[in-house]
Amino acid sequence: MKMKTLQVSKFKAGCLGLLKEVRATGDPLVVTLRGKPLVIIHSPDSMPSQGASSIAATLTRLHPLLLVEAEDFEPQPRTTRQAAADPFPV
């Protein structure tokens, strides 16, 4: 699998065609900004499947956060128009 590198300005000029090329070939594309990698674009087929097991694992990790009692949260006080207009008073 070869990795093509392209400047962001050239990527912007041919974005749709380049994305179709990545999907067709499966080869990732590195988009650079000032010579440094900005993003790597992969085809969906090259990525691991994130099915129900991934969702279940995420929910399992989040479960403790869902158990926080409602009384732990206090509503924010209402603000006046002046406070809303000037959020950082001197």
User: So what CATH class is 4-46?
Assistant: alpha beta
Predicted TM-score (pTM) of this structure: 0.51
pLDDT in tens, the chain (90 residues): 678 899 999 999 999 999 999 999 989 999 999 999 999 999 888 776 666 677 788 888 877 777 766 556 666 666 666 556 666 665
Q: Tell the residue number behind the tokens 């206090």, with chain if given.
A: 74
Q: Across the chain, which distance is largest between two alpha carbons, in Å? A: 60
What residues does each domain of the chain span? 4-46
Neighbours of 31 (CB within 10 A): 20
